[in-house]
Amino acid sequence: MVVKKMGLRIRTVIIAFLVALVAGTLVGTVVQTQFNLLALQNLGVAISLEARWTATLHDLLHFAPLYAALFGTSFLLFQAIAALVLTRLPGWMLKPGHGVAGAAGLWAAFAITNALLPMPTLIAATRSVTGLLVMLLTAAWAGWLFARLAATNRANRTGTVTPVVAGVLLLGSLGFTETVRAQSAVDDYQVETVASGLEHPWSVAFLPDGGALVTERAGRLRQITPEGQLVNAPIKGVPPVFNSAQAGLFDVVLSPDFANDHRIFLAYACGTEAAYHLCVASAQLQRDQLTEVVEIFRARPAKEGSAHYGGRMVWLPDDTLIVTLGDGFDYREQAQKLSSHLGKIIRLNPDGSVPADNPFVGRDDALPEIYSFGHRNVQGLVYDAREDLLLAHEHGPRGGDEINVIEPGQNYGWPVITYGIDYTGAMITPYTAREGMKQPLLQWTPSIAPSGMTRYRGHLFPEWQGDLLVGALAARNVHRVTLNGLRANDAGILFGKLDARIRDVATGPDGALYLLTDSSDGKLLRITPMAGSDAVSSEVELVLSPEQLDWIGEQIFRNECAGQTRCLVHWNAGEAFPSLGIGHFIWYPAGVEGRFVESFPALVDFMRRRNVELPESLAELRPFDAPWADRDAFLQVSDSASVEDLRAFLMKTRAVQTEFIYHRARESLSRVIGAAPESKTDVVTARVAALSETPGGVYALIDYVNFKGEGLAESERYNGEGWGLLQVLLAMSGHPADTALDQFREAAARVLTRRADNAEAPIERERWLPGWLKRVETYVEPASRVIPE
């Protein structure tokens, strides 16, 4: 009989515990949902009854399981402790005591969880004192309910402790599964480690001398020499940085006039964990130290914690600085308040003053620095001069990572609209769209945790031209996003085999892609296409002295323009595009989709990275298309002051154009060899290597690939036959009695004649071919007095 009563008592206690746990979980879930919706209502968002029911039901399905695990663990432990303690206290204290134990257990669970996890507050409803107290009251009620249902009396209280513990431990068998994201990788790349041993590197900026600056989150600014060596000692003079969790030193950008003023700009966390800000400072870089350090901006209000700073920067063409500011995580509603910098993108003058045309200047209810608002945590920022687009990506919560086109004065919705949910599974808002709030170009659910972004405008990866390359911390790869106007598409995953958190992505001046990996042993990686064979890297190298390079540039200028300045901006009869510069770089007007590879915009991008001051006609052109609709329109203004200024600029920058041609040629050789038929790869490699051994051969390779291209584009074919460098290399006779340069010259003449024969337009054979053949005749070795060694 005693055993039977004990068994009945155990079942009663277990049932009471489970009922109280379920009841506490359900009530707690409903309460946190209402507090989240109340935060939106306080922003002026009307919540319909349907939306309220939708959010509540969602949270009961998706938030309640996690909350049950968190609440249940603490409930088990503290109810067991209460049962032990209350055996020695008066019976009237039983129900209140278990109630206090329920509240104390949940408070301890919140405190421990918030201390261990990277986000400041796990459950958003507890960010306010009121929300926290109400959540604790639900736990206290559950404790009271447990004692009430168990109907425990003073005589049998001791015997109930062990059954309670045993019963609740059954909950420990409940588990959670983690979804593993499948990854793919592109194999056609090779990875070079430029620098290692970096402590959580955050940003890279390239210097005009070929070196680079890298920030480390811990507060150090590191320098990489033009030879690719990491300087051991950090740069001195960095302003004091608050470093904790996500807080630290963030972005570094060069002044638009760095060539003259040597100033850099840093974004960093400043202050303390109890009161911190996002700050921006400018400083002069003097070899291994910063001088004249000036704080030009400090976000307000101060906030508590160490998450969601933003911290990316980029320059606009008018020399104003765009800076991203995070919402501070626990302060997400501030993203909608124009009286706060949190959750905003701002625009500053270089001295920190406010541009007069900022969208909220003059409004008493808004901070004048604000450029756009409604952001969560923007950590990717790109200005594309060619299309006059300011593009940003931002972290969503659990899902809802976004790419947006940033426009002045616009509201991007956070936290009123989002495609993500909270990390707990709770619904942040029932809305994904509302009037007056911008929709993203693209959103990722589940999250990839984007960080760092470049719009690729280099030459090593022509298949990525104009694509966004987005680093992913959680997904540990890079996402390639194609843009067609204002339509974006996630076109695939790159570099998954690196299996590294990617913090920053940048296009280098050499056209290579650079990645920063986020770890205590972070790396700066240089990504280039995979060479066709070992011989490509070891045998084929275009090494030139400065004098030889200058000579090649002048030769190309004579070939294209006979050395005449007027020809530097020209439009040939019968062509759909103008040709500019010493290499007659192609520039298409808006709406023209030509057969040939466009190259003038890439030259201008190269000049920007070299800090070349552009004339207004180029610097202010948006979008970056040729400004003349057709040849007739060009001829009407060909003698105008603006066109003459452009010719003078191109005459003055011949050396930079030569450098651009040289870099493009070097990049082209690997692609050309890699595209050769497998049976001919060794032959083509050997022919390129032989040509690269003499100045005349190097000149022939560089001039021809600039003149007629690589021969890889399918559009550059007549009757299925190309006329680029690859076709010439394949057409070389290989006769041992002839030099490689003689073979190349003869093969080029045959390939170009074949092109003219295959062309539909008679102008190619009648007018253009004689000039092409005359040009090919210049492929001879120069006299030693012409080109010094």
Burial (CB < 10 A; 0-12, 13-18, 19+), residue 466, is middle
Question: Are the C-beta atoms of residues 373 and 412 closer than 8 Å to each other?
Answer: yes
Instruction: Using the Cα atoms of residue 417, residue 418, residue 423 and residue 427 in order, give the sign of their dihedral.
Output: positive
Give the pLDDT confidence score for residue 542 in this predicted structure: 65
Average pLDDT of the chain, as a whole number: 88
330-335 long-range contacts, CB within 8 A, separation 24+: 330/120, 330/121, 330/127, 330/303, 330/304, 330/305, 331/303, 332/124, 332/376, 332/414, 332/415, 332/428, 333/39, 333/40, 333/42, 333/43, 333/415, 335/373, 335/374, 335/375, 335/376, 335/414, 335/415
pLDDT in tens, 351-361: 999 999 999 99
pLDDT in tens, 663-716: 878 778 878 888 888 888 888 888 988 888 888 888 899 889 888 888 887 777
- Whether the pLDDT of residue 153 is over 50: the answer is no
Cα 158 to Cα 414: distance, rounded to the nearest angstrom? 52
Print burial letters for 27-63: b (CB count within 10 Å at least 16), e (below 16): bbbbbbbbbbbebbeeeebebeeebeeebbebbbebb
Least confident range from 82-91, 537-546, 561-570: namely 537-546
The architecture CATH gives domain 198-528: 6 Propeller (2.120)
Tokens of 735: 């006769």
Q: Choose among 258, 249, 308: nearest CA to 279.
A: 249
Strands (E), 697-743: none
Give the pLDDT confidence score for residue 273 in this predicted structure: 80
**Gyration radius (Cα) of the chain, Å:** 33
Cα 485 to Cα 731: distance, rounded to the nearest angstrom? 41
Instruction: Identify whether 308 is a catalytic site residue.
Output: yes
Q: Mention every residue, 6+ apart, whose C-beta is less than 8 A from residue 252.
A: 203, 204, 205, 213, 214, 215, 221, 264, 265, 266, 267
Q: Which residue reads 């007549």 in tokens? A: 718
Cα 134 to Cα 547: distance, rounded to the nearest angstrom? 78
| Angle ∠(274,111,374) on CA atoms, nearest 5 | 55
Q: Which residue reads 């949902």 in tokens? A: 33
pLDDT in tens, 554-596: 888 988 888 899 999 999 888 899 999 998 999 999 888 777 7
Tokens of 505: 């992505």
Give the pLDDT confidence score for residue 541 in this predicted structure: 61
pLDDT in tens, 743-765: 999 999 999 999 999 988 888 88
In this prediction, residues 22-33 reach a mean pLDDT of 96
pLDDT in tens, 422-440: 999 999 999 999 999 999 9
Cα 554 to Cα 703: distance, rounded to the nearest angstrom? 11
Tokens of 501: 């958190």
Give the pLDDT confidence score for residue 155 in this predicted structure: 40
- Whether the pLDDT of residue 788 is over 70: the answer is no
Report the DSSP beta bridge partners of residue 315.
321
Domain spans of the chain, in order of start:
2-173, 198-528, 535-776
Total residue length of the chain: 789
Give the pLDDT confidence score for residue 160 in this predicted structure: 43
Q: Which residue reads 């931002």 in tokens? A: 394
Which of the following is catalytic: 308, 375, 459, 570?
308
pLDDT in tens, 180-205: 232 333 446 889 999 999 999 999 99
Helix residue spans in 42-170 (DSSP H): 49-62, 64-86, 94-116, 129-150, 161-169
